[in-house]
């Protein structure tokens, strides 16, 4: 159970109910969105950061899943397994993200992105070689977008862990399809 009570539509003021309704038009209102509704001055817009990264949906989900794995964020992993599957990643590819260094299913660019996630998970400043590799073929703005995407999901992982945020449905597991 979350450490704070998550708002329901009925507990929100009319302005926040309208925000709830907008989100509900796209599907179920997820617990992470309910967390942010507990403080109406905060509005998470991850989709803008998804777009700012300049990544394809496949590459974006690989990055987000790797960020979730490095932060041991079961909530992020759970949500983005579903999204990654919808974007065409296979179960085998999703499972390989956790051990990507020995996997052969990722392109050279995807491997550079995975290495960049790992470097940022280890410390705030990736070494010059990792940074140069992820920058290859990207504009400075896209490098900023990719960096923001990764660090956003690190931040969200911390929020979810601090608040004991639970998945809405049973956790898919770290090894997808194994159960």
Report pTM: 0.94
Q: Are residues 72 and 148 in the same domain?
A: yes
Q: Are residues 91 and 143 in the same domain?
A: yes
| Domains of the chain: total | 2
Q: Are residues 30 and 66 in the same domain?
A: no
3-class state of residue 150 by DSSP: helix
> What domain range is 104 assigned to?
48-162
Q: Are residues 158 and 117 in the same domain?
A: yes
Q: Round the average pLDDT of the chain to a whole number and report it.
A: 96
99-134 tens-digit pLDDT: 999 999 999 999 999 999 999 999 999 999 999 999
Q: Are residues 17 and 74 in the same domain?
A: no
Confidence tier at 177 by pLDDT (50, 70, 90):
confident
CATH number at residue 137: 1.20.1290.10
Strands (E), 16-89: none
Q: Are residues 54 and 35 in the same domain?
A: no
Q: Are residues 96 and 150 in the same domain?
A: yes
Distance CA 163, CA 135 (A): 35
Tell me the three-class secondary structure of 134-145, residue by residue.
HHCCCCHHHHHH
């Amino acid at each position: 159970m979350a450490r704070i009570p998550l708002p329901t539509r009925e507990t929100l003021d009319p302005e926040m109910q309208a925000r709830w309704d907008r989100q509900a038009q796209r599907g179920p209102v997820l617990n992470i969105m309910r967390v942010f509704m507990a403080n109406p001055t905060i509005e998470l817009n991850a989709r803008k950061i998804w777009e700012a990264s300049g990544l394809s949906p496949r590459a974006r989900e690989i990055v987000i899943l790797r960020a979730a794995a490095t932060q041991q964020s079961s909530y992020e992993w759970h949500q983005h397994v579903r999204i990654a599957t919808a974007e065409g990643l296979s179960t085998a590819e999703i499972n390989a993200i956790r051990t990507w260094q020995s996997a052969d299913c990722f392109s050279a660019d995807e491997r550079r992105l995975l290495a960049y996630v790992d470097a940022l998970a280890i410390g705030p400043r990736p070494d010059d070689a990792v940074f140069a590799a992820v920058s290859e073929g990207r504009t400075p703005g896209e490098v900023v977008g990719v960096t923001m995407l990764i660090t956003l999901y690190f931040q969200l992982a911390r929020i979810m862990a601090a608040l004991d945020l639970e998945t809405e449905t049973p956790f898919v597991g770290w090894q997808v399809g194994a159960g």
